[in-house]
């Protein structure tokens, strides 16, 4: 028998141990517990999306769309809108909906999307940007002010969907490390902010769109990564 085989058998032997019966307190809780309605992850996604769409529609109805819309190619406008929508839905679904047959969200896939989505929307904002004749191009004097205004305004609009997403995350069964799930949810709602800015903001130029619009996705991912593991309630589904 090789040394490795010997070690494998010793390790396997550790899994064969006697087990105490369930405690009286535990059995008492089970008897008193009764039936519960189990979670449907897609309902949580639907709730976040419904709130997000409502906010986008109401905000558009109140403030109207970007002033330079008539001078922009419609195909480009709707293609980029669809890309922002995908950047919102994909990380949100990955963070809130486990793979088939699993109770826990896949933090590996969430990590991948939390990194890829902000990078992809930034690249899209630089290389697939179109400025129409009526698009406002910032000057060095007002560039920073416009960027700060867009990031803060976008994140303000995405705040409620972000909070609902985080609550949905806490109600789910979470793996041990939730930082990447928080980052994915944050990137999703940051992309929602980018979507709203794409609809409303008439300011163009590569720096403004990449930093002021796509930057919301990066900021959202960072905020989610910090907030979700830090303020996790004591009675979340994993750590009750």
Partner 1 sequence: MVRHAELMVDYCAGNEAAFRELYALAAPRLLAYLICLARDRSTAEEILQQTFIKLHQSRAAYVRGADPMPWLYTIAHRTFLDEARRRKRSRVEPARTDELPEIAVSFDGGAANEDPYSAEQIAEVLAALDRLPDNQRDALVLTKIQGKSIAEAATILGTTPGAIKLRAHRGYVTLRELLRSTEDER
> C-beta of 27: minimal distance to partner 1 in Å?
8
> At residue 217, what are phi and psi to the nearest 5 degrees?
-70, -40
Q: Closest Cα to residue 154, out of 81, 234, 56?
A: 56
> C-beta of 37: minimal distance to partner 1 in Å?
6
Closer to partner 1 by CB, 99 or 145: give it: 99
Integer CA distances (angstroms), 114 to 78, 92, 93, 152, 182, in order: 24, 10, 12, 20, 9
> C-beta of 191: minimal distance to partner 1 in Å?
23
Closer to partner 1 by CB, 80 or 184: give it: 184
Give residues in contact with partner 1 (CB under 8 A): 3-4, 7-20, 22-23, 25-27, 29-31, 33-41, 98, 101-104, 106-108, 111, 171-178, 180, 235-240
DSSP state of 105: -
Cβ contacts of residue 222 below 8 Å, gap of 6+?
183, 186
Q: Length of the chain in residues, anyone? A: 240
User: Which residues are registered as beta bridge partners of 136?
Assistant: 203
Integer CA distances (angstroms), 29 to 25, 33, 82, 191, in order: 6, 6, 49, 43
Query: How far is 21 from 177, CA to CA, in rounded Å?
Result: 30
Closer to partner 1 by CB, 134 or 238: give it: 238
> C-beta of 19: minimal distance to partner 1 in Å?
5
Closer to partner 1 by CB, 14 or 62: give it: 14
Q: Closest Cα to residue 135, out of 206, 51, 35?
A: 206
Q: Give the gyration radius of the chain's Cα atoms.
A: 23
Closer to partner 1 by CB, 105 or 120: give it: 105
> C-beta of 119: minimal distance to partner 1 in Å?
18
> C-beta of 226: minimal distance to partner 1 in Å?
16
Taken in order 133, 120, 122, 51, the sign of the CA dihedral is positive
Closer to partner 1 by CB, 45 or 151: give it: 45
């Amino acid at each position: 028998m090789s040394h490795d085989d010997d070690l494998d058998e010793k390790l396997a032997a550790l899994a064969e141990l006697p087990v105490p019966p369930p405690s009286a307190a535990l059995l008492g809780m089970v008897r008193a517990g009764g039936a519960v309605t189990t979670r449907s992850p897609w309902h949580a996604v639907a709730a976040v999306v419904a709130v997000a769409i409502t906010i986008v529609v109401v905000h558009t109805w109140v403030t109207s769309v970007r002033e330079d819309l008539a001078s922009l190619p419609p195909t480009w406008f709707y293609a980029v809108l669809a890309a922002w929508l995908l950047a919102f839905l994909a990380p949100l679904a990955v963070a809130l909906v486990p793979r088939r047959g699993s109770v826990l969200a896949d933090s590996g896939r969430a990590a991948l999307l939390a990194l890829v989505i902000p990078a992809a929307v930034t690249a899209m904002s630089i290389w697939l940007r179109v400025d129409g004749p009526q698009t406002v191009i910032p000057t060095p004097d007002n560039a920073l002010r416009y960027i700060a205004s867009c990031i803060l305004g976008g994140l303000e609009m995405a705040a409620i969907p972000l909070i609902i997403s985080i609550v949905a995350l806490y109600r789910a069964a979470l793996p041990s490390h939730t930082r990447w799930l928080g980052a994915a949810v944050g990137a999703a709602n940051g992309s929602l902010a980018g979507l709203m800015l794409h609809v409303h903001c008439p300011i163009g130029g590569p720096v403004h769109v990449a930093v002021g619009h796509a930057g919301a996705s990066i900021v959202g991912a960072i905020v989610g990564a910090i907030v979700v593991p830090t303020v996790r309630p004591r009675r979340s589904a994993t750590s009750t």
